[in-house]
Amino acid sequence: MKTITINVSEPVYAEFKAASKSSGRPVSELIREAMELYRAERLQPVGSLGGFSPRSVGKVYRPLASGDDLLDEMLAHNS
């Protein structure tokens, strides 16, 4: 594990200290957890929709018509 030094505002550190006290976990552990959450949500590349398999969501109630919302625009971009 890499040791780092960070500067945080007093109010932010006070919140981490309070959370540390109430959870019985060290402040450093809470900060590592927050950093991991940030990394997973913001730094990890998001895959393309092409990697997903189609899923059935039930029966079709009515076929799409050419005047349906955004259909013309979507078809125009694909051609």
pTM score: 0.57
Q: What is the pLDDT of residues 3-49, one digit of tens each?
A: 999 999 999 999 999 999 999 999 999 999 999 999 988 888 777 77
Domain boundaries defined on the chain:
7-44
Q: What is the pLDDT of residues 55-72, one digit of tens each?
A: 888 888 888 777 677 666
Give CA 64 to chain center in angstroms: 32
- The three state secondary structure string of the chain is CCCCCCCCCHHHHHHHHHHHHHHCCCHHHHHHHHHHHHHHHHHCCCCCHHHCCCCCCCCCCCCCCCCCCCHHHHHHHHC
